[in-house]
Structure 1
Amino acid sequence: MASSKRRPERRQEPLSRERIVAAAVGLLDTVGESGLTFRALAERLATGPGAIYWHVTGKTELLVAAIDAVIAPALAGDDTGTTPREAIRALALGVFDAIDAHPWVGTTLAQLPRTGQSPMLRVFERVGRQVRALHVPEAAQFTAASALLSYILGVAGQNAANTRAARPDTDRTEFLDAVASAWGELDPDEYPFTRDVAGQLREHDDRAEFLAGIDLILTGITAGRTRS
């Protein structure tokens, strides 16, 4: 009689907050914020919802942690040896790329309560330090940092929303060409400016335009400093 051999048990990685957050990011990338439930997350982690609640108290905390994880690489850079302008541009582009790669971040941020634990607080702090390093007058520092943060989140979020709204098989060049052609056919009396810039729309690069906007804001901030 042949002896039966026991199959070795597969060792599972212990459940941790880091694993839960990583799984949540993956789920959000796949199905979006509406599909992130503790039941779906438990299935992905092959565990029970109760085990997840041991590490995370609720969905809001989970979303905050997921956004923090996505934004973290943009905050990991070292500003040593760079000018304040260079540091702001690098941080802004890092956040732009993070939201572009994870489009749910923009819409989710708008839904989270505005508390001291907002995921963007560290971005605001980092921007504010560089604004201060630009020697912006103290009375104007909050406005300058807020304007930069609003631009970063607004443009990055809109870019991500446009990406989500487009069909998966959309060719960007063909799409922009079609829109630019439509702009070029607008009434010249009602839309003279839009007609004139239609060609620039056709050829523009999203990341380059985003950084150009950052530069415009920084130029205004530093011009205001020299006038004070």
Structure 2
Amino acid sequence: MEAVLTAAVALLDEAGQSALTFRALAARLGTGVGTIYWYVSSKDELFDRATDHAVGAILTAVEEQPQSDDPIADLREMAITLFDAMMDRPWLAAYFMRNTDVQGHSLRLYEKLGQQTLRLDLTPRQRFHAVSAIVGVVVGTAADLGAELPQEVLNGEVNRVEYLSRYAESWRRLDAAEFPFVHEIADEFAEHDDRDQFLAALELTLAGLRLQAETP
């Protein structure tokens, strides 16, 4: 199973979801397609197990992080670790925690996040909502940023800055009275850094959590 999952993750890393087929995996392992079915019963299970295999390394990194006196700071470090791993593997966000009956590492990582909220004065519902919000910010942002790039960017016809600047320029030409917000942030959009944008969203989420935990 270890060899099968390692090869599956390698195919996903190299060319994304479309690259992982039973035929391609069998060819990578130098075996027949029938052999793969000894280990997984379907393509869905293969994706879930490959995802969990990759999440194992993230879980190890999170478990090795020292615990501080501030659970929210620890949540921040865990969330950033997960986000950076998903940016390195854009396919990962689509399958994270899709089936926790199979994805034991993913469930354990979810548990590690949740345990930090046990250190805060929150109700069970608030804890559930807090971890859901953090995972949503991490996975949702990673999935959005990991989406397939426009063909002209992939082809090298324009770079990322040129592509964003084109839209920013079109926003600047809009009626400022009708679109005051879009006018206000056009320059920020044109020059924004994706990771900084994620960190800002995470900070907003954690600030709300801290406020909730500190409110009598």
TM-score (norm 1): 0.80
Letter in 2 for 1:90: E
| 1:168 Cα deviation after fit | 4.6
Aligned residue for 1:122, secondary structure, equals helix
- Matched with 2:140 is 154
Equivalent-residue separation in structure 2 for 1:217 and 1:182 (angstroms): 31
1:87 is the counterpart of 2:78: no
1:123-170 CA distance string (max 9 Å, x none): 321211112223333341111111111121111111111547752524
1:99 is the counterpart of 2:86: yes
1:32 is the counterpart of 2:6: no
| 1:31 Cα deviation after fit | 3.8
Aligned residue for 1:40, secondary structure, equals helix
Mean CA deviation greater in 81-90 or 202-211: 81-90
Aligned residue for 1:197, secondary structure, equals helix
Mean CA deviation greater in 213-222 or 159-168: 159-168
Answer with 1 or 2: which has the greater Rg: 1
| Percent identity of paired positions between Structure 1 and Structure 2 | 36
Which of 138, 145, 167 is the equivalent residue of 2:131?
Answer: 145
Aligned residue for 1:223, secondary structure, equals helix
Equivalent-residue separation in structure 2 for 1:168 and 1:162 (angstroms): 12
Assess if the C-alpha contact under 8 Å between 2:72 and 2:116 holds in 1.
yes
Which of 167, 189, 197 is the equivalent residue of 2:154?
Answer: 167
Relative to structure 1, the CA distance from residue 117 to residue 42 in structure 2 (aligned partners, 3 Å threshold; closer, same or farther) is closer
- Matched with 1:63 is 47
Equivalent-residue separation in structure 2 for 1:194 and 1:60 (angstroms): 41
Equivalent-residue separation in structure 1 for 2:155 and 2:56 (angstroms): 28
| 1:27 Cα deviation after fit | 1.7
Which of 178, 183, 189 is the equivalent residue of 1:195?
Answer: 183
Superposed CA RMSD in Å reads: 2.4
Assess if the C-alpha contact under 8 Å between 1:84 and 1:133 holds in 2.
yes
| 1:183 Cα deviation after fit | 1.9
- Matched with 2:37 is 53
Equivalent pairs counted in the alignment come to 210
Equivalent-residue separation in structure 2 for 1:183 and 1:51 (angstroms): 55
Relative to structure 1, the CA distance from residue 35 to residue 164 in structure 2 (aligned partners, 3 Å threshold; closer, same or farther) is farther
Mean CA deviation greater in 162-171 or 24-33: 162-171
Mean CA deviation greater in 132-141 or 152-161: 132-141
1:122 is the counterpart of 2:104: no
Assess if the C-alpha contact under 8 Å between 1:106 and 1:153 holds in 2.
yes
TM-score (norm 2): 0.84
Q: Gapped runs of 5+ residues in structure 1?
A: 1-16
Equivalent-residue separation in structure 1 for 2:108 and 2:170 (angstroms): 42
1:60-107 CA distance string (max 9 Å, x none): 222112112322332223232433223222222222222222222233
Assess if the C-alpha contact under 8 Å between 1:103 and 1:164 holds in 2.
no
Equivalent-residue separation in structure 2 for 1:92 and 1:33 (angstroms): 24
